[in-house]
Amino acid sequence: MKIKNLFWVLIFLTYSFILNAQDNKNYKVACIAFYNIENLFDTIDTKDVKDTEYTPVGSKKWNSEKYYNKLEKLSEVIALIGTDVTPDGPAILGVSEIENSIVLEDLVKTEKLKSHNYKIIHYDSPDKRGVDVALLYQPEYFKVTRSKSYTLKMEGDTNFFTRDQLLVSGIFDGEPMHFIVNHWPSRRGGEKKSRPKRNAAAVLCRSIVDSILQTDKNAKIIVMGDLNDDPTNPSVKEHLRTKGKVEELANDELYNPMYKLYKNGAGSLAYRDSWNMFDQIILSRAFIDENKSSYKFYKAKIFNKSFLLQKEGPYKGYPLRTHAGGVYLNGYSDHFPVYVYLVKEEE
């Protein structure tokens, strides 16, 4: 067995028991992750973009030292995701709150990530702050065949601009797969008032899913992102059409493994002394149906290691973020990464 190889991982007795498999079977294991990395901006004031606060003269006093500190901290986190099972970490990583391709290129070149050889799929979106979503992937495991960016528009509101939704299709270790990366509109102005925007984002995302399923009803689709809603909110449950229990899943519905984590009190970000599960990874039914010769869903997790937690003060136990209340904390992000394991028997 090559320890370096992400997929050819021998699952010994413990993992074999968990997976209800025979002892000493070989499994291919893949880690798919998403991370809202909280305002990864460069230090340059970009024309027609509201990014002045992230410049040396802006309110955040954002300079090269702080920028490179953030890159190092983010790379530390990404390099560790999923490595308890998969030595190479995430084969696929969706990210949000990035300013441009330049910051991603700087990120993947950091000391802790450069050996992963991550490639980048990114499109500029119309968001007024200039933040976008993107997909990072290791080309050893995923070959991109198509990508497209979808713009969300609100009827009658010509001043509405938000992050695009990114579809990336390709061949993942021999299997066709599709990844849709999201960052839905925020709750600014209140959850109820802003709800129609997230419902509309869910409808757009669902239309992308349906367009794929029309071509292949057994397509393997992974929806990931910061949805700014929990698994129980109407945008996710009704408009995206997800279920949190496999036994209740209809053929064209999506399975949301984050539902159970959320119901058990876990979350990917904290606000006013409560946890939300805005960061989600959702799968099409093809990942659930029993087929040992192809990848299937195994487990969903939140990467919430202790070093990512604030250790003191009123926000003790919250994610240790870069800024809070205008104060520079030299942290990581206000969100925890989320990830899933996919497994299949080795032939």
What is the rounded average pLDDT for all residues in the chain? 92
Question: 40 and 70 in contact (C-beta within 8 Å)?
Answer: yes
What sign does the CA torsion over 173, 184, 217, 255 have? positive
d(CA 204, CA 226): 15
pLDDT in tens, 175-225: 999 999 999 999 999 999 999 999 999 999 999 999 999 999 999 999 999
pLDDT per position as a tens digit, 227-257? 999 999 999 999 999 999 999 999 899 999 9
- Which residue is it, tokens 């305002």? 39
Report residue 121's pLDDT band, with 50, 70 and 90 as the boundaries: very high
Tens digits of residue pLDDT in 322-338:
999 889 999 999 999 99
Phi-psi region of 237 (alpha: psi -120 to 50; beta: other; left: phi over 0): alpha
pLDDT for position 255: 98
Cα→Cα distances 177→68, 145, 218, 221, 284, Å = 34, 10, 10, 6, 10
- 88 and 6 in contact (C-beta within 8 Å)? yes
Share of the chain above pLDDT 90, in %: 85
Could you state, in order of their start, the residue ranges of all structural domains in the chain?
8-345
Which residues on neighbouring strands pair with residue 284, listed in sequence order?
Answer: 254
pTM confidence score: 0.93
Confidence of residue 4 (pLDDT cuts 50, 70, 90): very low
Architecture in CATH for domain 8-345: 4-Layer Sandwich (3.60)
Three-state SS for 23? coil
